[in-house]
Amino acid sequence: MLSVRNLRSRYGRIEALCGIDLDVEDGEIVTVIGANGAGKSTLLRCLSGVQPASAGTVEFAGQTITKMPAHRRVARGLAQTPEGRQIFTTLSVEDNLRLGAYVHDDDRYEKDRDAAFDMFPVLKEKRDQIAGSLSGGQQQMLAIARALMSRPKCLLLDEPSMGLAPILVTQVLEAVKSLRSVGVTLLLVEQNAFAALSIADRGYVMEVGQITMAGPAGELISDPRIRKAYLGL
């Protein structure tokens, strides 16, 4: 589904990604963990086309998309929920969903919207409410639902648990896990390493712009280095 080779990206003189190699197979949940400043969000921004790559290649569903504009990547089935949610706070819940469906001009909007409501029933209850008045957990659900309106093959999730109470973290990540059942492949960036690895098939560890470890999620959870550095054990 997604293949990344020697991906590099810069902010001025600072190289934020220093040659990333990463793969996501069709139907997988893959997570990238690491400390603040490791380059995790920059990685997702490069994959979605928001941040330009300075070197390397990105292939999605068999096509090289390294220099493809972000809006064309969405149309091809690669969507992102950004760090901090970035919903349209002055618009209603439903208007946020309408904007998520902008790449499609067919008559499936209501069907897609109802599928999002089935996944997140609280959004149906609050469909006419201003999005900025939702709780943090509800806003995260809206950010995910908005991305799903583009009918992604692969969804890039950037820190979906950020700022949420523990019980809401569990709810949101269970919802993320359920996306696989509707055919969505997932690449998840998350500081909550234990929660992310608990729902993932495989994981990568990033440090200062590089992948330093990779493997099955269960093995990473059990690795003493990961437990000490990221799990507080």
Q: What are the pLDDT digits (tens) for 100-149?
A: 998 887 788 999 999 999 989 999 999 999 999 998 889 989 999 999 99
Q: Identify the pLDDT of residue 51.
A: 95
- Mind listing the pLDDT tens digit for each residue in 156-186? 999 888 878 888 888 888 888 888 888 899 9
Strand partners, 31: 188, 203
Look at residue 116 and tell me if it is in a domain. Answer: no
> What contacts 105, CB < 8 A, 6 or more positions away?
none
> What contacts 180, CB < 8 A, 6 or more positions away?
27, 29, 186
DSSP state of 82: -
Q: Identify the pLDDT of residue 187.
A: 97
> What contacts 210, CB < 8 A, 6 or more positions away?
18, 19, 20, 39
**Cβ neighbours around 7 below 10 Å, total:** 23
Structural tokens at position 170: 């569990």
- Mind listing the pLDDT tens digit for each residue in 56-112? 999 999 999 999 999 999 999 999 998 878 899 999 999 999 999 988 877 889 999
Question: How far is it, in rounded angstroms, from Cα 172 to Cα 159?
Answer: 11
Look at residue 130 and tell me if it is in a domain. Answer: no
Look at residue 127 and tell me if it is in a domain. Answer: no
User: Based on the structure, what is the number of domains in the chain?
Assistant: 1
Cβ proximity of 231 and 220 under 8 Å: no
Q: What is the three-class DSSP state of 151?
A: coil
**In which domain, by residue range, is 169 found?**
2-86+151-229
Look at residue 92 and tell me if it is in a domain. Answer: no
Q: What's the CATH number where 160 sits?
A: 3.40.50.300
Look at residue 115 and tell me if it is in a domain. Answer: no
Look at residue 31 and tell me if it is in a domain. Answer: yes
Q: Identify the pLDDT of residue 104.
A: 84
Average pLDDT, the chain: 92
Which residue from 233, 200, 232 is spatially nearest to 217, judged by alpha carbons?
Answer: 200
Structural tokens at position 80: 């992102």
Look at residue 143 and tell me if it is in a domain. Answer: no
Amino acid found at 132: G
Environment class of residue 14 by beta-carbon count within 10 Å: exposed (0-12), middle (13-18) or buried (19+)? exposed
> What contacts 125, CB < 8 A, 6 or more positions away?
none
Question: How far is it, in rounded angstroms, from Cα 45 to Cα 145?
Answer: 19
| Residue 60: CA count within 13 A, CB half-sphere | 26
Look at residue 40 and tell me if it is in a domain. Answer: yes
